[in-house]
Structure 1
Amino acid sequence: MGHPLLARKRTQGGKRWLSGTGRDIHGGEAMNLADSALAPWLAPCPQGTGRPPVLSLGTMNFGGRTPATEAHRIVHRALERGILFFDTANAYGNGESERILGQALRGRRAQVGIATKAGFARVQGKPEGLSAPVVERALEQSLERLGTDHVDLFYLHQPDPATPIEETLGAVERLLRAGKARHWGVSNFAAWQLLELDTLCDARGMPRPAVSQVLYNLVVRQIEMEYLPFARRYPVHTTVYNPLAGGVLTGRYVRGAAPPRGSRLVTNRMYQGRYGSDRLLEQVEALQAVATAEGMTLVEMAYAWLLGRPGVDSLLVGPGSVEHLDAALAAQARPLSPDTLARLDELHQAFLGTDARYAR
């Protein structure tokens, strides 16, 4: 039986393309992409169409900062508001996020898309990596926690320099052929790594990565230098995470003051390294002034900015409460003015300093 979603095909004329009725990797007939409710997740939005990014629900906080009861409320509100795609990982809450998400979606599996990831969970203090046994075992365990026989999208959570990528691709291909993952993607991979994957996948005759998940927000804009130009030349669905910079763009943190107890800048070493600097908090103060002048909250402006960015096909929102989800959804109705967009670019350049874009 072929899966109703469309398998990614090879490049033609230097560009990616999706066949409307071609045969998928399972050997069956694939449904036309336009007939799928998850179509926006399988093809990048052509430049200049004006289509806003698709929102999906991130569940990294489920089972940790967000208890199960509130997580269920968030999932159900997302469904009410038309969000059809849900993103989790085996690393989130040591698998508890997957378990909670599966419970919250019980009875609705056929109407939604689920993505999970492998390669970032900690084993004896180190990432589990992307060896073939790890990848295949990780997805099997994820399926059990989610209470489903397949995921719609399976990500490699981060590159693993210790494992030959050909070995990892072999595992991914077996999972696709077994129907346990309908599509696959990558998270935190560089542009050159994506191009390498495309080449290797073409040589193997297997589908290329359908989706690439990258970090992007008002204070971390590195993907504008090389990744986004790459994605324009070799279109791939780009979904972005960390829209509020781990809470920094909520105004929660104050320059010169100790972070709130229990916050990520206290408890999470990765977030400390990513966002824990007075220089960055100074930039947030300047952004807050722009938001105030626009008559918006900083949160609304952060979401509205991403929703208007070219090259962003979908946006992961990871709310800790129903109210946070509602705030993200409200930003869809409030695009930023050209003057505000120009001011945000000016601020970014000022805090970036000398930017030798050719030196990359």
Structure 2
Amino acid sequence: MSGIDRLGFGCVALAGLASPRRARDLLEGVLELGIRHFDTAPVYGRGYSERLLGDFLRGKRQQVSIATKFGLPAGQAPRLPIELAMGLNALRRRLRSRPTPAAARPASDPPSAADAEPPPRRIGRAEVEASFDASRRALGIDTIDLYLLHEALPSSLEPAAVDFLLKLREAGKVGRLGVAARGSRTLALTPSELADWDVLQYEYGPAWPQHAELPDRFPSMTHIFHSCLRGVARDGNAAARTLAACVSANPRGRVLFSSANLAHIRDNVGALRA
């Protein structure tokens, strides 16, 4: 794959745009730039991200690959029409962006036990099956190209859930199975724990130097990097150079990035064409 072919677009911010039309325009611009892989999840925008991507995919399914996820509680289904929900979210963002007088700012509290990472939970077959069916309906597709365990490790899955996932892949309803967890969690895995899995998706780049060993630790897996631009200066060409370096470091995998600004996306993609 070329540099552009190995990029993927993260759809986490779609539901934060002002309207479905803005989301469609952004996705159309990304597709026109040559990016053909789109990554979403049921928890992005409380389900709206999958729906927005699904609307965009009508008539385009054969042009793209789609990744979505399971394993995080979906929460209560949104009750508002998508147009109204996106408009309200945009209004909230504008209100939050207004500067707050120093005297009115709350003091920072020290970290508490509530801030700690929650203990792992067990994920059963019924939960996975319901999530899979809901994602296919929201996306309007029959086959999910890449189905990712979201912020959990394979040990959290009950045996019946693993069996269900393997049967989905065998039946062609899922192309590949993957684990999308924090790189710090993935570092603790062993090859035997990933024997049934095809893909690892995790943070990579200047902010995550300890994750640079993961491709060599799991050479048989396809690796997908994300959050590559965390902490990278946005001035000049630093972001584009960093993205290009991450693509170069992952010759058999993909690099995800996300932005709601199509001009920034064009700049970064342009660096890979140069």
Mark yes or no: TM-score above 0.5. yes
1:166 deviates by: 3.1
Aligned-residue CA RMSD in angstroms? Answer: 2.8
Percent identity of paired positions between Structure 1 and Structure 2: 26
- With over 3 angstroms needed to count, the CA separation of the structure-2 counterparts of 1:158 and 1:174, relative to structure 1, is same
After superposition, residues 225-244 of structure 1 pair within 5 angstroms as: 226-231=213-218, 234-244=219-229
- With over 3 angstroms needed to count, the CA separation of the structure-2 counterparts of 1:55 and 1:164, relative to structure 1, is closer
Residue 314 in 1 paired to residue 266 in 2? no
Native 8 Å contact 2:177 2:198 kept in 1: yes
1:301 deviates by: 2.7
Native 8 Å contact 2:154 2:194 kept in 1: no
AA of the residue aligned to 2:205: N
Native 8 Å contact 1:117 1:157 kept in 2: yes
- With over 3 angstroms needed to count, the CA separation of the structure-2 counterparts of 1:230 and 1:139, relative to structure 1, is same
Please name the residue that 1:217 is paired with.
205
AA of the residue aligned to 1:315: V
After superposition, residues 183-202 of structure 1 pair within 5 angstroms as: 183-188=176-181, 190-191=186-187, 193=189, 195-199=191-195, 201=196
Tell me the TM-score normalized by structure 2: 0.73
CA distance in 2: counterparts of 1:316 and 1:58, whole angstroms: 6
CA distance in 2: counterparts of 1:249 and 1:168, whole angstroms: 39
CA distance in 2: counterparts of 1:102 and 1:128, whole angstroms: 30
Q: Look up the SS of the partner of 1:182 in the other structure.
A: strand
Native 8 Å contact 1:239 1:312 kept in 2: no
- For 2:128, which of 130, 135, 140 is the aligned residue? 135
CA distance in 2: counterparts of 1:196 and 1:308, whole angstroms: 28
CA distance in 2: counterparts of 1:176 and 1:66, whole angstroms: 37
1:104 deviates by: 1.0
- With over 3 angstroms needed to count, the CA separation of the structure-2 counterparts of 1:158 and 1:210, relative to structure 1, is same
Residue 81 in 1 paired to residue 33 in 2? yes
CA distance in 1: counterparts of 2:153 and 2:173, whole angstroms: 22
- Answer with 1 or 2: which has the greater Rg: 1
Native 8 Å contact 1:66 1:321 kept in 2: no
1:305 deviates by: 2.5
Please name the residue that 1:29 is paired with.
none
Native 8 Å contact 1:102 1:145 kept in 2: yes
Q: Look up the SS of the partner of 2:148 in the other structure.
A: strand
AA of the residue aligned to 1:230: R
Q: Is there any run of 5+ residues in structure 2 with no aligned partner, and where?
A: 77-113
Q: Look up the SS of the partner of 1:183 in the other structure.
A: strand
Q: How many residues align?
A: 229
Please name the residue that 1:104 is paired with.
56
Native 8 Å contact 2:7 2:255 kept in 1: yes
- With over 3 angstroms needed to count, the CA separation of the structure-2 counterparts of 1:121 and 1:175, relative to structure 1, is same
CA distance in 1: counterparts of 2:271 and 2:200, whole angstroms: 23
Deviations 1:25-66 (Å, cap 9, x if unpaired)? xxxxxxxxxxxxxxx5xxxxxxxxxx6470111101111257
Native 8 Å contact 2:149 2:178 kept in 1: yes
Please name the residue that 1:171 is paired with.
164
Please name the residue that 1:181 is paired with.
174
Please name the residue that 1:298 is paired with.
238
CA distance in 2: counterparts of 1:220 and 1:66, whole angstroms: 32
AA of the residue aligned to 1:325: I
- With over 3 angstroms needed to count, the CA separation of the structure-2 counterparts of 1:216 and 1:133, relative to structure 1, is same
Q: Is there any run of 5+ residues in structure 1 with no aligned partner, and where?
A: 1-39, 41-50, 202-208, 252-287, 289-295, 335-360
CA distance in 2: counterparts of 1:194 and 1:140, whole angstroms: 30
After superposition, residues 245-284 of structure 1 pair within 5 angstroms as: 245=230, 248-251=231-234
Native 8 Å contact 2:240 2:269 kept in 1: no
After superposition, residues 37-186 of structure 1 pair within 5 angstroms as: 52=3, 54-65=6-17, 67-123=19-75, 130-160=123-153, 163-164=156-157, 166-186=159-179
